[in-house]
Structure 1
Amino acid sequence: MELSHLIQSSQVENVRVCCPLMPPVTGTLCVSSHHLILSACPVQGTKQQNCELWLLHSSVDSVEKSVHNIGILKSKDGEGRSSSGTVTLKCKDLRVIQLEIPDMEETFNIARSVQALSSLDNLSLSYPFFFRPAGCKLGKGWPRDTMENFYLKLKAQTDAWRLSDVNENFKVCPSYPEKIIVPVACSDNSLKQAAAFRQGHRFPILSYYHPRNKVALLRSAQPLIGPNHHHSEDDEMLLDAALMGQSRGFIIDIRTEQEAKQARSAGGGTENKDRYRKWSLLHRPLERGKALQSSLTRLVGTCHETYLGSTHWLSKLQASQWLSHIKEALSTAGLAAECIEREGTCVLLHGEEGANNTLLATSLAQLILSPDCRTMAGFQDLIEREWLQAGHPFQLRCARFGWVQGYIQQESPYFLLFLDCCWQLTRQFPMAMEFNEKLLSTLATHAYSSEYGTFLCNSEKERHVYKLREKTHSLWGILNNFRQRKHFINPVYERNPLVIWPSVAPQSIQLWEGFFFRYFMSTKHKEMSWQRTWELVGEDP
């Protein structure tokens, strides 16, 4: 196979493996193109069980190795020291797995093999292109939802918007889907001109329509104002058309005023109030990029140190600033929801690129506003529409998790932060969401490493190029299988037609222990409680 040259040792005997929440086992370690496999048979006179452990190479975030001298080895040529080694694998799902290997050379071979296989450059060689689960057909679950379906629901509420194919073959904006929803009053030619005025050609498009107040939530990238104060009449007309006759709207820029000014000197900027007279500009900054990734790294380190017995847990948790990022994300989404629900005004959300924190804020705002997004199907549609089809670059942002500090390139945990905010909502409103914590954890795991093709690539255009629908299985198809789906349902769910306003008080935001500590503490009691709840509601999970 194409990856065989990266495997320096394919099999090692008598390897002792220590995994979280299970006793150590000893067996044969095999390295395949996509998996690390331990086959352990029971040893006579011990309590060891027959087991087989499989680990995807792509789920490994960091590889560490150490060598230990274990004694004097006599040979014909004289005496020498015998060495063993330990390979520590820190995984993207927060597992820490130790491989104790009885030979120093094999230790280095295994470490180098896993390191190479866990960081492949060629996407088409990744495991989803080879994974063929029994009983599953290619194409099932692709796509989870389409813009046509979304538009059909919108058309039943208003005729002021239209479905445009101006982006057919991704010729206008490479990170947008081929079909987008825009005001009826805007022609395709006008949209092309407006696109040229926005970074990455991400011009304002519909994200959500409020059926009662008849106002829209839009998203875009920053305008290319630049130091010479450029403007676009087509962009101005597009935003005025989105107001649908309303006297005003709000533009929420998720950067500080200083960041927006600095962006203008580099060719970007934010909307000029003299040109957009019907729009009021608000700044609600959200942390982004390397700073957000560093926050996750500090949090992961703190959780691991606490598991090992480190003290000063609360001060280290506060220093990571992760909970502060959750607070700011929920506050910004709440502001957008308040403008739409209480003020009855249209909202445009954008930052710089419009494909990261912008999507975080628009998707959370929809969870707050719309009971449909809180259902199992609606939540999956939301992720498909607001993250996958909207062009969030999963391949870049989720290349690494949070174990390694010094190798941050374009990684940043926007999607993980979104899922954490969703968990906060499920905790504050335990009956409002049809899905449970296990679904959120599963999505986080698959976003970083998966057997399925759903979260591969950085845009719909790239997914078309790699033909993911034809060559890989969809995660949605598996999650909605009857046997799997029942594990992700909230047993006490009751549809709540009202807006759910999240609390951002310090005591209301907590660490998502079910994700960040899931391999540091047993979930036995939580699973028992979950099973008992299903029994009380009279259903079998």
Structure 2
Amino acid sequence: MKSCSLSPLFRMSSDSAPLWYILHTHISSVERGQITVSGSILVIRGKTFFTFKFIIPRDKTCQDVYDTLVTLSQCIEELPAFCYKESHEDDWSIISMYDDYARLGVPNDKWILSNFNEGYAVNITSYPEKLCVPRTAALSVLIGSSKFRSRGRLPVLSYLHRENGASICRCSQPLTGFNSRCGADEDLMHHVLKTNPRSGQLFIVDTRPKINAMANKAVGKGFEDENNYSDVRYHFLPVENIHAMRSSLNKMLESKYHGLENSGWMKHIRSLLETALFIAESVKSGVTVVVHCSDGWDRTPQTISLASIMLDPYYRTLHGFQTLIEKEWLKFGHKFSDRCGHIFQPDSNSKEIAPIFTQFLDCVWQLMVQFPQAFGFNEHYLLTVHDHVYSCQFGNFLCNCDKERAEMQLTERTYSFWGYVSRATHEFLNPVYDATSSSFLKPDLRPSNIRWVIN
């Protein structure tokens, strides 16, 4: 049997007990416990919030099971997605970010889809090859801005409000250090501002705590100086980094209901929703917003995606929500493989693992609780998405960016999750959905309204 077997099987000791199947890709950690009079203890913790504790009569057997589990999936091609034999390439074309741009009216007289990153010619490897940028921005401006941004991630369009012309753009932090500046980057921001002639100012939302952004200046990075960017207002709307989120989740799972408040998880959820609401209300009022964190692939997709859901009912439909994930998370390089720990490497540390996408789904669930008729999909769908982000049964969520997925030929070698959903749509529809229920969602973010989702 190949090592990418889908479900290692554990059976409870009693013949009358249920049989439990655990996907090995769902295993977060395996721990050896103390030896007891009944046997050796083995604890398995899961990425989808389960914990199993086994008492194995023989210590050697316990060690053999432990050794087997910690050596599973050390190579991407050993993951379950590569075990499937049939090809469903058509399933990969069900969702397209460029169809979404067309729905938003792009390209138009303000915005253009540019091929300047085609073949990753300018080495922006974590962005898609075709990018939506201001029509008036010259190629030299785009390339110059890219060289001044962390990982080359220059400001590009994410969402366009068709009625008022305001937009949401995304990027990474600039390489300002303590006093550096870049004329091309300043020009590009001005071009972004001019795509919205109804507004005379541009908001830049930095989702990092200000002290963290200041610390980045010491390593040649940092944030924009309002004195160098005309008609720009800078807003720090702090959301903690991946290390704080990982720690918070671990504390939450350890405490569960007891001491939940001390984990800080609900505070982080509220911070994300508050930042997203600020972005959404700014765009609704006619102001264009540029959003970034450090590299622009964690807090940036979280807040932009949530703001888009608040602004646009389309993203609350099943198809629209999938499009949002495809665009903001997959195409723009959220590091699913690193953040979800898809590849087990015993000698590596786990500092890249963080529940960023889990937090996003939690925030969506918070909105669903407050606006139960506004979403075309149900809670079961959110749980299914979360499950398969970690299951590695589909190619969509493998690797860290679109370029890596193309190099692995995942559209030819694996199934698409969107195809699976399209054949099981009836399971995921919300029976009380009302497409006319609300055009703009403004959640009540008082602490008492932020709910505990895991049960």
TM range (shorter): over 0.9
Contact 1:375 1:435 in 2 (8 A): yes
When normalised by structure 1's length, the TM-score is 0.78
Structure 1 position 104, deviation (Å): 2.4
Superposition pairs of residues 42-441 of structure 1, within 5 angstroms = 48=16, 53-66=20-33, 68=35, 84-117=39-72, 120-132=73-85, 137-155=87-105, 158-172=108-122, 173-227=124-178, 229-243=179-193, 244=195, 245=197, 246-303=199-256, 313=258, 316-342=259-285, 344-399=286-341, 408-441=350-383
> Which of 1 and 2 has greater Rg?
1
Structure 1 position 256, deviation (Å): 2.8
Contact 1:89 1:96 in 2 (8 A): yes
What CA deviation, in whole Å up to 9, does each residue of 1:5-26 have, x standing for no partner? Answer: xxxxxxxxxxxxxxxxxxxxxx
Contact 1:290 1:408 in 2 (8 A): no
Contact 2:114 2:132 in 1 (8 A): yes
2:434 to 484, 494, 499: 494
Determine whether 1:468 maps to 2:410: yes
Alpha-carbon separation, structure 1, partners of 2:33 and 2:149:
51
Describe the SS at the equivalent of 1:63: strand
Structure 1 position 463, deviation (Å): 0.4
Structure 1 position 259, deviation (Å): 2.2
Q: Number of paired residues?
A: 446
Is the strand fraction higher in 1 or 2? 1
Mean alpha-carbon deviation: is it higher for 425-434 or for 102-111? 102-111
Q: Aligned-residue CA RMSD in angstroms?
A: 2.4
Structure 1 position 438, deviation (Å): 1.0
Give the letter for the 1:366 counterpart: S
Contact 1:253 1:284 in 2 (8 A): yes
Mean alpha-carbon deviation: is it higher for 384-393 or for 179-188? 179-188
What CA deviation, in whole Å up to 9, does each residue of 1:3-51 have, x standing for no partner? Answer: 5xxxxxxxxxxxxxxxxxxxxxxxxxxxx855312579996xxxx38x7
Alpha-carbon separation, structure 2, partners of 1:419 and 1:469:
25
What CA deviation, in whole Å up to 9, does each residue of 1:159-196 have, x standing for no partner? Answer: 31111111112232110011111111113332111100
Contact 2:249 2:265 in 1 (8 A): yes
1:509 to 433, 446, 450: 450
Determine whether 1:442 maps to 2:384: yes
Alpha-carbon separation, structure 2, partners of 1:101 and 1:41:
9
Alignment-derived partner of residue 8 in structure 1: none
Structure 1 position 143, deviation (Å): 4.4
Contact 1:252 1:347 in 2 (8 A): yes
Alpha-carbon separation, structure 1, partners of 2:51 and 2:211:
41
Alignment-derived partner of residue 37 in structure 1: 9
Alpha-carbon separation, structure 2, partners of 1:320 and 1:67:
27
Structure 1 position 415, deviation (Å): 0.8
What CA deviation, in whole Å up to 9, does each residue of 1:427-461 have, x standing for no partner? Answer: 00010011111111111222223311111110001
Contact 1:145 1:385 in 2 (8 A): no
What residue ranges of structure 1 are gaps of 5+ in the alignment?
4-31, 71-82, 307-312, 518-541
When normalised by structure 2's length, the TM-score is 0.92
Alignment-derived partner of residue 10 in structure 1: none
Structure 1 position 416, deviation (Å): 0.7
Alignment-derived partner of residue 13 in structure 1: none
Mean alpha-carbon deviation: is it higher for 121-130 or for 288-297? 121-130
Structure 1 position 213, deviation (Å): 1.0
Alpha-carbon separation, structure 1, partners of 2:383 and 2:328:
19
Distance 1:492 1:69, change over 3 A: closer
Distance 1:63 1:347, change over 3 A: same
Distance 1:345 1:491, change over 3 A: same
Structure 1 position 498, deviation (Å): 1.8
Mean alpha-carbon deviation: is it higher for 501-510 or for 448-457? 448-457
Describe the SS at the equivalent of 1:250: strand
Contact 2:205 2:237 in 1 (8 A): yes
Contact 2:158 2:168 in 1 (8 A): yes
Structure 1 position 366, deviation (Å): 0.2
Describe the SS at the equivalent of 1:142: helix
Give the letter for the 2:374 counterpart: A
Give the letter for the 1:108 counterpart: Q
Contact 1:400 1:411 in 2 (8 A): no
Identify the structure with bigger relative contact order (alpha carbons < 8 Å, sequence gap 6+). Answer: 2
Alpha-carbon separation, structure 1, partners of 2:448 and 2:210:
30
Distance 1:105 1:500, change over 3 A: same
